[in-house]
Chains A and B, each alone.
Chain A
Amino acid sequence: MSARDSDWDGVRLHVVTGKGGTGKTTVAASLALALAAGGRKVLLVEVEGRQGIAQIFDLPPLPYEERKIAVAPGGGDVYALAIDPEEAMLEYLEMFYGMRRAGRMLTKMGVLDFVTTIAPGFRDVLVTGKTSEAVRRRGKNGKRLYDAVVLDAPPTGRIARFLNVTSEVAGLARVGPIKNHADLVRGVMASPETAVHFVTLLEEMPVQETLDGITELRAAGLPPGGIFINMVRPALLPETCLRAARQGRFDVGELALGLKAAGLADGPADATAVAEALGAEVAEHARRTELEARERGTLEKAGRHRYELQLLADGVDLAGLYELAETMNNQGAA
């Protein structure tokens, strides 16, 4: 694979986290397209059992099986896999213990459900284990099968625990096969071939969570990646106008003239009334952009690569994913 200029050359596992609802699934899907652009092979993985990938690509529910779901701009394939912990456990038992039928019996008795409920660390290690297997898997030619794997991960609040499987499992299994498996997985998660990206909005809570999440990852020895600022609105008004509006100096008179020129007012009194109402709207917008600028400044201090993804006016559809992927390519995220 020829190296293309991106901020994450050398990274094979892209983990996407963020506060719930900020756009993790959307960003993970677009990032997979962006990484595949120009002829590469990328696997998009989801783990929360929500069938988010199928929904966003408008497909029937995905089975526990890697299958091609999209073609990237300029050639390149995106495959998808919805990891089901139960299936992952059966596969694990078969691979390491040759216990396929016994595994089925454990499942039937609700053992998996039980163990993973009481100790989510076990569930996590199965899921991250399957993901890291895909990252390391080699094709017949000895080369890695996937150029990159993108993981639509759990939200920020759980991400460090989720990836830091060794310590999660350590309290429960100090020695033994699970512990060894966890160590192996953790090796992949903590390697320089992994980057954990954060999705945020320009709002107080998701920004705070992003900063906290980065700190938490660092403390756990896991590699923070970039910050994807999602749903960014275009700047319509010049900064001078916004500043004036914030200071209550917005020129309503000029706006009234413009409205008259555009034929939007019945007489001067009406022009002024409409201009004042619009002026109030501008003032509110100005305060909002001020807050956004502050949050942007806070994010800058994190010292990570930042990307700005546009708000899609009509919501996210397939075309929208390609638009976001293009933005990512243009900004060097992939």
Chain B
Amino acid sequence: MARNVPVLEIDAILDDSRTRIVVCCGSGGVGKTTTAAALGLRAAERGRAAVVLTVDPARRLAQSMGLTELDNTPRLVDGTTGEGTLHAMMLDMKRTFDEIIEAHADPERARQILTNPFYQSLSSSFSGTQEYMAMEKLGQLRRSGEWDLIIVDTPPSRSALDFLDAPERLGRFLDGRLIRVLMGPAKAGGRSAFKLLNAGFGIVAGMLTKVLGAQVLKDLQTFVSALDAVFGGFRQRADQTYRLLQAPGTAFVVVAAPERDAMREASYFVERLAEERMPLAGLVVNRVHLSPADALSAARSTAAAEDLEARGEHELTAAVLRLHAGRMQLSARERREREHFASAHPTVPLTLVPAMPVDVHDLEGLREIGGLLAAP
């Protein structure tokens, strides 16, 4: 790595009892879930009472942590060593949403909401629901006080920023002006600005009836007013979790693959965290390709392979040299991406995790990744 790039000291973070929340974020497929699980295991084996909140573990990884059911509660993971404990859970976003409704509405109103077709659609497919519910669950785990370290994986959005933006978007949406318009005259009455909206309401309702049909509009209104009664402070709730993420006991670990798109996302995210005054621990560059024979350059390797091929000798050696040249080229490209990031963000600590030849899907594999994360 380039000189002077600060090192991300994973063990120092995990061992510090003031660290209470670690958030693993990054763009899709870079290794957030794997990193979160590996950090959880390492923390537990170094003595902490840790819980990992995963969002979308690969099937075999979930099985290896005993997550065979999606029951929305943390389960003790068997097979860890040492004093600490590791619990793991998989987020069930619909259930989490249902539970919020059940906790905040009287049974009749809760029933009205839960059976409304718009609620069912919103709770299972709104693109920000998963992000919001991950935040909500994080808040719940934190309030329960049962764990001294919570590691959160973030949803598989294309963009890492979605995790920060979606809850806010959902909150704003549910508190929105249009919701008020849809709830009709009763709710919007009073101030003059709303009078205008009232006039608008008749026209809007007329058009919506024509296009959507009367029943749809009625369902929509029922849903909105039932939800409104429950979520008077929906936005405050999102704000509360947001503040939790700004607290000093939180550490954001940004994960990226050493490719242009992922590194660019990581860059955006690092800048955004600074703007939001959220504590960044550092960047994990995952799935890095290194070579055990890196003294032999791609150029020399290719030239030698060409030479052997021209002479028709040592066919196997020539093939191995071609393989090695490809590896060195990839490695060089990845290094450029890292250096590019490091020059734009010279103070962000970095750690590298090599690409394993096979998928990571058991505790042994996670332990190995944990070791690599912590290696200087």
Residues of A participating in the B interface, judged by any CB pair closer than 8 Å: 19-21, 93, 97, 99, 102, 105-106, 109-111, 114-115, 117-121, 158, 161, 171-179, 203-205, 208, 233, 236-238, 241, 251, 254-255, 257-259, 261-264, 274, 277-278, 280-282, 284-285, 287-288, 291, 313, 315
In the complex, are the beta carbons of A21 and B28 less than 8 A apart?
Answer: yes
Contact assessment for A176 and B216 in the assembled complex, using a CB-CB cutoff below 8 Å: yes
Distance, CA A204 to CA B34, complexed state (A): 14
CA distance A132 to B208 in the complex (A): 24
| A20-B156, A237-B320 known; A178-B216 Cβ under 8 A | yes
Range of interface residues on B (Cβ < 8 Å): 35 or more
Q: Which B positions have Cβ atoms within 8 angstroms of A?
A: 27-29, 58-60, 117-118, 120-122, 125-127, 156, 158, 173, 176-179, 181-182, 200, 203-204, 207-208, 210-213, 215-216, 219-220, 223, 260, 291-293, 295-296, 300, 304-305, 307-308, 313-314, 316-324, 326-327, 329, 357-359, 361
User: What chain A residues lie within 8 Å of B219 (beta carbons)?
Assistant: 172
Report whether A254 and B176 are in contact in the complex, using a CB–CB cutoff of 8 Å: no
Contact status A262-B121, CB under 8 Å:
no
Q: Closest 8 interchain pairs by CB?
A: A258-B317, A176-B213, A258-B314, A277-B293, A262-B304, A287-B357, A171-B117, A277-B292
Give the distance in Å from the alpha carbon of A25 to the alpha carbon of B360 in the complex.
28
Q: How far is the CA of A119 from the CA of B121 in the complex (A)?
A: 6
Q: Which of B126, B296, B308, B320 contacts A261 (CB 8 A)?
A: B308
Q: How far is the CA of A173 from the CA of B213 in the complex (A)?
A: 7
Q: Are B322 and A291 in contact (CB under 8 A)?
A: no
A115, A254, A281: the one within 8 Å of B316 (CB): A254
18 A/B residue pairs, CB under 8 Å, sorted by A? A97-B211, A106-B204, A109-B181, A114-B176, A117-B173, A172-B117, A237-B316, A237-B323, A258-B308, A262-B317, A263-B307, A264-B296, A264-B300, A280-B292, A282-B323, A287-B357, A287-B358, A315-B260
Q: How many Å lie between the Cα of A94 and that of B179 in the bound state? A: 25
Closest to A285 in B: B323
Other than A121-B125, A236-B319, A281-B324, give 12 A-B pairs with Cβ distance below 8 A. Answer: A19-B29, A20-B156, A109-B181, A118-B118, A118-B126, A118-B223, A161-B125, A172-B219, A238-B316, A258-B318, A274-B295, A277-B292
Which residue from chain B places its CB closest to the CB of A173 in the assembled complex?
B216
Contact A274–B296 (Cβ < 8 Å): yes
* A99→B219 CA distance, assembly (Å): 24
